[in-house]
Amino acid sequence: MSPLDAWGDFWEGLTPGGVARLRELCAPHIRFVDPFNDLTGVERLEALLVHMFQTLEGPRFVVEDRALGRYAGYLRWHFSATLLRGGPIALEGMSEVRFDATGKVILHQDHWDAGTQVYGRIPVLGAAIRLIRKRLSAPAS
């Protein structure tokens, strides 16, 4: 199994008890970046995932596609969960994954649209974001 496949499988099968498996797959100095976090170190990534399980019900990643480039791998995914004090969450994004010479993950950088998928769903903020998008978008032909 390739390191990219192992990494994708980790996210798809992630459970609270499986968080410790990060140490098998990651370099100790892994960098994790998403629209809300930029952290370094496997311990900090473990803490982030533990926090996810504490604040969300039923978090689940489905990896829809995988690609391996010259310098990195890419995972296209769908994430769903329910906020413990709120409604459902559904996100779509892509992760850029870089490996060291031994196949350990050294970078996991998520790319997804927080403006539309999170901030745009907040009533007042969402209206402001839609107005800005309308003003900045190309005119309809």
Sketch out the chain's domains with CATH numbers: 3-112 (3.10.450.50)
**Pairing relationship of beta strands 105-111 and 26-34 according to DSSP bridges:** parallel
Contacts of 134 (CB under 8 A, 6+ apart): none
- Looking at the chain, how many residues does it have? 141
For residue range 85-120, what is the model confidence (pLDDT) as tens digits? Answer: 778 888 889 999 999 999 999 999 998 765 565 544
pLDDT at position 65, please? 96
Average pLDDT over residues 75-94: 87
What is the rounded distance in angstroms from the CA atom of residue 60 to the CA atom of residue 13?
Answer: 8
- Using a cut of 0.85, tell me whether the model's pTM lies above it: no
For residue range 22-63, what is the model confidence (pLDDT) as tens digits? Answer: 999 999 999 999 888 899 999 999 999 999 999 999 999 999
What is the rounded distance in angstroms from the CA atom of residue 55 to the CA atom of residue 84?
Answer: 6
What is the rounded distance in angstroms from the CA atom of residue 73 to the CA atom of residue 12?
Answer: 16
